[in-house]
Chain A
């Protein structure tokens, strides 16, 4: 049983034994669903990266909309695209803090250290932005491997060979101008800078990345025996072994023929900017020559990188992997053999409509996503496997706090909750793409400290901007610094905060406790400080940092 399971009970979540599964859904008996308002909160956080608005909660409470309607509106929300980037980034792991080429090697960027973080994200998010645009525009998901366009922002748009508009800012659709074939993410610098190949690796590592990201087939996890093989310690013999040793051929019989497609990205010097930022079409014929194998996709011949996308689209593993990847991301755990029935529903949705929004609708319709607790029938393996409570990781926390309070934690140009070079992404439970590959699903000491600091700063920002500065209301609804406990405006504010932050109405005992906290703080300082203290406390509540 995870800590969150215990926490769910401690937080006053509904007693699983008293909740009946909806009669119309084929809900496994071991799971009980979240209350609608909390489910709306989960959907909003997962699909938009922000909390539901009070108006949305009002509509839900009044029965004017249901959670599925809200979910569909979230999928069409402008913030969906940004959230999709962060979500898929956990699976594709391209938001790393280091590439072979550093920002200082570009004269346009070298003079200012504040350019480092924007440069690294502009590179690493390119394939994610492409995928997110495909998802947001509800294009066929295979566009991610067949499209003739990519995405660039004002950093890479002016550095790389793309047709980024001269007067544009932000992420824009672009086309590379260096002759690379149409192959979606497979023809992006961002993906291949992250999954680079040394000169002598001949793109094989990149094929492993393609297989993992798009087929969910992880060559590196295979339990391959080399007991019958001879030593490959001598580098000069490696190529011979890869072509003739049966223990190597088990993987390389399929890896090497695919690797032939990527020689336009094969650099003569992997540290040279010109060599790795430009596509080299004249090297395409080298693949079959250097690897001594004909191009093929698991036995189906091809002639160009442009063929790879359609072949992937036709491969049934692509559909399976799309369903499995998104389910894992939204379930916040690896999909397992026990998930077969629900994954089949997701895949069926894909077969009917091969678009990512259809997949996300299917996943979020499922009982595993909507679970908020366990029934008495749950076994120990059920308790261990299912995630009925999610935890805000640092990037999602950053998104929520930015929307709620306008607070953005930055230092020397580094986003403190979305990077690690000078930030706290991993300490706050996030994925760095290299060493941490799954977001934290249980509280840790460093996560608590990150939450504490972020909550304190966000609360201060909100009070300073809204209550002292008279700015637009975001965290607060209508309270002023003149209102005190017992005033109607004060009470209304607490109710609104509880609903907005936690998705439910407060109990009287909670209101009393918060009023006491506010009063104690006000007695020592003033009303502004009392609201800073109160809001910071509310933002650290388990009901806020879980969903």
Chain B
């Protein structure tokens, strides 16, 4: 960061001749140099607004010239004398010289600390939040194993012996040229998937990595980019399972969720009659993030036992819904700026419909 001559500061005349002389070598003052310097090197910890001070003493903030001026002796000691700040060092000699000169200035170089950003008002009301949540929840729980089975079904139905390679036989580690290959019935495939199966407990853990795409004869896209992972152990009432989908997996010609071409970063874990849902699912027009949402037949059969859900608006701001523990599937909704937008209820039935009978 370079230096500028004073625009609004008044560096001097100082109280002491020595200080005034030193101050005159400081070419930019608080507005032109100091504010940027302290923001860059100190603001992450020494700010009244920072959420994590990382050990910085409470009240030791450098958001304004007044605050810096009041603590100038301590700053000089820590930065210029014993060099214990900023953490890890890294100040150039030029910056050290400028800081020394700035701290020699008198204290009337005050400046506005700057405006903070303002979050726009919530664009979704309680009904709008509920509608988006229900749209995503309506698809049930996206299980990785089910998605992979559907993916293989497509390959099995349309792959031929040479395109894509390996599609017709387990473990379905398929490979197609980067430019793509075309099957006898007109499907195009490009890229690859790799599948790894390992024993874990008395069950099996499966991981599928995908990087590719396809196109059916009607021009509809098939995409497989990211990772699928699932594990299951036991059966019936003793069953335990985990499932994770990261990436974009879908086919425009498929019914339900896969036809939405969703993007996901979603994980779930549970047993026969319970599950915890974490992570996000994005459809066009509805984006939801599950915050440890709990389904537990022993506590709230057919409803939501706890946790939360976040719903995103079109501008990129989230409303957080924290479910009450009364099995109502309702809870208080709070917008990104902390304001309440009322109570929102979600229909949990589709989640239960997909959970009951799930067998990884």
Chain A interfacial positions (CB closer than 8 Å to B): 102, 104-105, 107, 110-111, 178-182, 215-217, 222-226, 246-251, 253-254, 257, 264, 267-269, 271-275, 278, 280-286, 293-294, 296, 298-307, 310-311, 314-317, 320-321, 324, 335-337, 339-341, 343-344, 347-348, 351
Q: List 14 additional contacts besides A181-B316, A269-B211, A307-B117; criterion CB under 8 Å.
A: A179-B316, A215-B1, A268-B248, A272-B191, A278-B248, A281-B316, A282-B282, A284-B318, A299-B49, A300-B49, A303-B119, A316-B32, A320-B1, A336-B2
Bound-state CA distance A301–B48 (Å) is 10
Q: Is the CB of B86 within 8 A of A250?
A: yes
B117 touches A311 (CB 8 A): yes
What 0/1 readout, one digit per residue, does chain B (156-192) give for beta carbons within 8 Å of chain A?
0000000000000000000000111000000010110
Known: A107-B188, A247-B87, A274-B223. A181 touches B213 (CB 8 A): no
Complex CA–CA separation, A68 to B94 (angstroms):
35
List residues of chain B with CB within 8 A of the CB of A303. Answer: 119, 317-318, 336-337
> Residues of B contacting A347 with CB < 8 Å?
4, 7, 32
Q: Is the CB of B180 within 8 A of A223?
A: no
Our pick among A250, A307, A336 for the contact of B90 (Cβ within 8 Å) is A250
Q: How far is the CA of A301 from the CA of B3 in the complex (A)?
A: 27
Tell which of A268, A296, A324 touches B51, judged by Cβ atoms closer than 8 Å: A296
Q: Tell which of A111, A249, A284, A337 touches B88, judged by Cβ atoms closer than 8 Å.
A: A249
Kindly state the separation between the CA atoms of A152 and B1 in the bound complex, as whole angstroms: 33
Inter-chain CA distance A521–B157, complex, in Å, is: 73
For the complex, what is the distance from the CA of A105 to the CA of B212, rounded to whole Å? 9
With A104-B179, A336-B2 as given contacts, are A269 and B247 in contact (CB-CB < 8 Å)?
yes
> Once the chains are docked, how many angstroms separate the CA of A217 from the CA of B35?
13
B2 touches A299 (CB 8 A): no
A343→B315 contact, CB < 8 A: no
| A327 to B7 alpha-carbon distance, docked (Å) | 18
Q: A335–B89 Cα gap in the complex (Å)?
A: 24
**What residue of chain B has the Cβ atom nearest to residue A292's Cβ?**
B52
Q: How far apart are the CA atoms of A222 and B95 in the complex, in Å?
A: 12
B133 CB to nearest A CB, Å: 13
Q: Is the CB of B88 within 8 A of A271?
A: no
Asked if A275 and B247 sit within 8 Å, CB to CB, the answer is: yes
Question: B180 touches which one: A102, A110, A247, A337 (CB < 8 A)?
Answer: A110
Contact between chains at B263 and A278 (CB < 8 Å): yes
Q: Which residues of B contact A250 (CB under 8 A)?
A: 86-90
With A and B bound together, what is the CA distance between A241 and B52 in angstroms?
16
Assess whether B87 is in contact with A316, with CB atoms less than 8 Å apart.
no
B274 at the interface (CB under 8 A from A): no
Given A268-B246, A306-B317, A299-B50 contact (CB < 8 Å): yes
| Contact indicator B2/A341 (Cβ below 8 Å) | no
Beyond A257-B44, A269-B211, whether A282 also contacts B280 by CB under 8 A is yes
Taking CB atoms and an 8 Å cut-off, the chain B residues in 219-237 that contact chain A are: 223, 225-227
Question: Are A298 and B1 in contact, with the CB atoms below 8 A?
Answer: no
Flag if A343 contacts B4 (CB, 8 Å).
yes
B302: interface (CB < 8 Å): no
Say whether A269 contacts B209, CB under 8 Å: yes
A317 and B51 contacting across the interface, CB-CB below 8 Å: no
Whole-angstrom CA separation of A320 from B36 in the bound complex: 9
Q: How far is the CA of A102 from the CA of B211 in the complex (A)?
A: 13
CB neighbours (8 Å) of B287 from chain A are 179, 281-282
A268/B289 in contact, CB under 8 A: no
Q: A107–B317 Cα gap in the complex (Å)?
A: 35
Instruction: Note all chain A residues with C-beta closer than 8 A to B265.
Output: 268, 280, 282-283, 286
16 A-B pairs with CB atoms under 8 Å apart are A179-B284, A275-B248, A282-B280, A282-B281, A285-B289, A285-B318, A293-B52, A298-B40, A300-B116, A304-B317, A311-B116, A314-B115, A316-B35, A340-B28, A344-B5, A344-B32
Total number of residue pairs linking A and B with CB closer than 8 Å: 255
User: Could you say which residues of chain B place their CB within 8 Å of the CB of A226?
Assistant: 88
In this complex, what residue of A is CB-closest to B211? A272
- Nearest residue (CB) in A for B223 is A274
Q: Among B227, B280, B312, B315, which residue has its beta carbon within 8 angstroms of that of A182?
A: B315
CB of B92 to closest CB in A, whole Å: 7
Q: B279: CB under 8 A from chain A?
A: yes
Taking a contact as CB atoms under 8 Å apart, the answer to whether B88 and A224 are in contact is yes
Task: Select one of A110, A182, A337 contacting B2, CB under 8 A.
Answer: A337
B49 surroundings in chain A (CB, below 8 A)? 296, 299-301
Q: Which of A264, A307, A324 has the most CB of B within 10 A?
A: A307
> Among residues 250 to 296 in chain B, which have CB atoms less than 8 Å away from a CB atom of chain A?
263-266, 279-282, 284, 287-289
Once the chains are docked, how many angstroms separate the CA of A110 from the CA of B176? Answer: 14
CB–CB A280/B263 < 8 A: yes
> In the complex, what residues of B have CB within 8 A of residue A335's CB?
2
- The residue on A at minimum CB distance from B246 is A268
Q: Does chain A have a CB within 8 A of B60?
A: no
A353 CB to nearest chain B CB (Å): 14
Given A110-B180, A269-B225, A275-B225, check contact A340 B2 (CB 8 Å). yes
- 7 residue pairs, one from A and one from B, having the closest CB atoms: A282-B280, A250-B88, A299-B47, A272-B225, A181-B316, A268-B226, A294-B51
Please, what's the 1-or-0 string for B115-127, where 1 marks a CB less than 8 Å from any CB in chain A?
1111100000000
Quick check: A320 and B2 within 8 Å, CB to CB?
Answer: yes
Complex Cα–Cα for A181 and B123 (A): 14
- What separation, in Å, do the CA atoms of A306 and B5 have in the docked complex? 33
CB distance from A138 to the nearest CB of B (A): 23
- Contact A272-B310, Cβ < 8 Å, known A281-B287, A296-B49, A320-B36: no
Q: Is B242 located at the chain interface by the 8 A CB criterion?
A: no
B178 to chain A, nearest CB (A): 6
Whether A282 contacts B288 in the complex (CB less than 8 A), given A254-B40, A299-B39, A347-B32, comes out as: yes
Nearest-neighbour CB distance to chain B for A414, whole angstroms, equals 19
Q: Tell me whether B44 and A298 are in contact (CB under 8 A).
A: yes
- In the assembled complex, the Cα of A344 lies from the Cα of B266 at a distance in Å of 51
Q: Are the CB atoms of B114 and A340 closer together than 8 Å?
A: no
Bound-complex Cα distance A351 to B115 (A): 16
CA distance A306 to B314 in the complex (A): 11
B45 contacts A by Cβ under 8 Å? yes
Answer whether residue B210 sits at the interface, using C-beta atoms and an 8 A cutoff: yes
User: Which one, A251, A271, A336, contacts B211 given CB within 8 A?
Assistant: A271
Check A253/B315 contact, CB under 8 A, given A268-B265, A282-B279. Answer: no
**In the bound complex, do residue B89 and residue A224 qualify as a contact, i.e. CB atoms below 8 Å apart?**
yes
**A180 CA to B314 CA in the complex, in Å?**
8
- Whether B43 contacts A254 by the Cβ 8 Å rule is yes
- List of B residues within 8 angstroms of A110 by Cβ: 178-180
Is A273's CB under 8 angstroms from B225's CB? yes
Interchain CB contact under 8 A, B45 and A299? yes
User: Knowing A298-B40, A299-B44, A311-B117 touch, does A286 contact B280 (C-beta < 8 A)?
Assistant: yes
Indicate whether B215 reaches chain A with its CB closer than 8 angstroms: yes
Q: Which of B3, B288, B315 contacts A304 (CB 8 A)?
A: B315
Residues of B within 8 A of A310 (CB): 117-118
Assembled-state Cα–Cα distance A172/B281 (Å): 31
Q: How far is the CB of B63 from chain A (nearest CB, A)?
A: 8
A182–B317 Cα distance when bound, in Å, is 11
The answer to whether B31 and A316 touch across the interface, beta carbons within 8 angstroms, is: yes
In the bound complex, residues from chain A placing their C-beta under 8 Å from that of B43 are 254, 298-300
Instruction: State in angstroms the CA–CA spacing of A311 and B49 once bound together.
Output: 13
What's the minimum C-beta distance from A7 to chain B, rounded to whole angstroms? Answer: 29
Known: A107-B190, A281-B312, A282-B263. A302 touches B40 (CB 8 A): no
* Smallest beta-carbon distance B160→chain A, Å: 18
Does B100 interact with chain A (Cβ within 8 Å)? no
> In the bound complex, do residue B40 and residue A317 qualify as a contact, i.e. CB atoms below 8 Å apart?
yes
- Docked Cα-Cα span, A344 to B6, in Å, equals 8
Asked whether B178 lies within 8 Å of A268 as measured between CB atoms, the reply is no
Asked whether A268 lies within 8 Å of B282 as measured between CB atoms, the reply is no
Chain B 49-89 near chain A by CB (<8 Å), digits 1 or 0: 11110100000000100000000000000000000001111
CB-based contact A272/B248 at 8 Å: yes
What CA separation (Å) do A37 and B86 show in the bound complex? Answer: 51
How far in angstroms is the closest Cβ of chain B from A210? 13
